[in-house]
Structure 1
Amino acid sequence: MQKKIILVTVLLAAMQMVFAQNDGSQTSLFTEKQQQLRITAENVRLVPDTKNGGYHLYVKKTLNVNSILLTETTKDPAGKNDSYAYRAKEYNSINGDEIRLLDGKKLESEGAKYSLVDSTVEDTSFFGPAFHIYIPETIVYGYDWSRKGEVKIGKGTFINIRSFEKPYADYTGDYMDSPFMFDFRVVKRVVKKPAPKPAPESEPEPDPVEEPETILTDDYNPIASEKFKELSDDIIYSKGPETIIEDIKGLLENIEDKDNLDLVFAIDATGSMKNDIDKLKTDMYPLLEELFGGSPGARIGLLFYRDYGDTFKYMDLPVKVYPFTSNFTSFSKNLNSIRIYGKEGGDIPEAVYEAMYASCEFYSWRTTAQKKIILIGDAEPHPTPRGSGKYSKDYVMKIADSRKIKIHSILLPKD
């Protein structure tokens, strides 16, 4: 009887745990109670402050959330360094008087002033009760005795909305992190002209015009974004199959001496990339013909990567390598040879640095050519080197720099 009681207790405890991906670096366990604190994209809204700059962030009040705090999205992979809370540089009436607790005590130090925190719910026309935080154009984090810095809000800026069970961002209760990225989308709005006096006869409504709108999206892996930026001259936040061909075209169409181009596409071939690669299979050949059909000297290579333990293996690395070719039919055949069933890998750390090493070392780059790698993926590299232990960011960047190879990144939405 005692064994049965113990077993039931263990099962009940296990049933309260659910799997959820953390902020991109690893898979973590959260209780059902913590999951109820998660913030989703449909429950956040940004409103630009046209007078002072910055944005007003509204987060819908849900049953279990009683305060929110904006923090960094990334932290030390070893878990030794905390992610810091964001702060405004100066007082504002929206959040300047909000209370924040730590260890049961009100934080009143200079380093805690103007934290982007809210426990005071207000009524809104779109959410009903909602938390409200004013995010200035520039926010700060950290302390003089530790790491610190400033963040200028723009496309690609990540913030983490930390939601708390208790008011005042009190860590004595449960809390949950929900990372978001600032993004811009185009929406159509009807712009009405003021009627002149006296008013003429009625005129038809003007056609909608396209205007950019700033939104918060949880589509992208924040760790992957940070690491891709470290590797790249630039980073494109793709919408996936909807825009990936145009994203690639934007990186290549302005190259002047296309006959003197050596280019490698390094593509994540795990299950979450299936729809993106299917789009590449159908539309890459026409794009290459459009861009390089009149440049017989252009050479294109293709590399697929997964992770250690997957089926790929070339020179002890989890990659599949197709050499440079100027024959786009051959390139398309190689691209179409890959089979993805949706279960390979996942949105977990992948062998990104190994893929960059292989792209630099396993291709016969021409000495005088323009050398480019386009990295396409949705997951970050391993925080510490795997395999031989030498494939770190610094190691592969040193090789790329020595060969004068420029890396461009296209980050896809996490699946």
Structure 2
Amino acid sequence: MKKIILLSFIILIFIFGCVNIPTLPKLIPKDPEGVLKPSTSLYTDLTLYLTTDKTPFLVPLSVPDYVRLKLSVPDISNLSDSEIKVFEDNKAQGFLLFKESEKRTQIDIMIVLDTTGSMYNAIEGVKNSIQNLIITLEASGLDARIGIVPFDDAAPSKNITVSPAWLDLSDASSAKNFVSSLSAYGGGDFPENPYAGIMYAFNNASWRTSSQKIIILITDASAHYKSESYPGDAEGETLYNKSEVIDAITGYVTVHGAFVPTYYYNITDTDFSNPEDPREIIEKTGGIVNYTDSSGNVDLTNIGLLEYISSSWIIAFESDSPNATHTIEVFIDHENLKGYKKLENVNY
């Protein structure tokens, strides 16, 4: 009898502990046969954001190896599985589709903010933009928490004197007060350390287990990185190569960016592969690249963030070879609007 009671108690603990993690309601459909990939040239109406998803979300019941993708299509609030085609290595996949905001109702946002002297003319505009974002999140009714990591050549910043040096995920009032205390000072050479800022937020924030996890990077500077020949004023600080950041956070956090235009950041740029360009991290994590004006003003509520949150879906499918490296392609045909996105060199 004691064994039965103990077993029942353990089961109850397990069930209670999994309350916030939705379970897979049914088996993933079999892969459709005879489905050919459409021509990508026809799928140019919609902008798609796509990345892998590794945040706790589904507990598989009878599926040994399944993969999750996070798909966002801003301005579209409803999608059905009949409007989507998913291909793994050119083979059509059967899948399940979930509206992310219906499964992950908590939103955790860490703002990684450049507070160096070059931001002097932009800092007030940036602070106002962050304050307006916080007010909008308050009014939205979302279960949102906000934190902030100031950075320069170090993360948190070594040149500002606020206490604490950074703000963990907190309520709106605490976030507004912290933002008000910030100023732009120091920084030395032009490159700063956004990679360390992103990794500090990723590793130290009190992320809630089943939340949507978002980092917003705001900067006007390029990045110091571990393998550069001369780290300048970042000498002795924690440094990362961009590939390390991408490998560590992809699937767990979506990074969005607001960049103050300089000779280094231009709205017409399309190649973000330079090792000191953080915009590639945003691309790889399925985020949105945006730009402020020259005074740092940007409507952070209008970069697509809230639309991104409300227009994101999770696609779950079984991989034919989960240990291999893959190419994933997603096609959407929604009310005669077509969109396409491709992920290459994907490891699950």
TM-score normalised by L of structure 2: 0.39
TM-score normalised to structure 1 length: 0.33
Q: Which protein has the larger Cα radius of gyration, Structure 1 or Structure 2?
A: 1
Higher strand share: 1
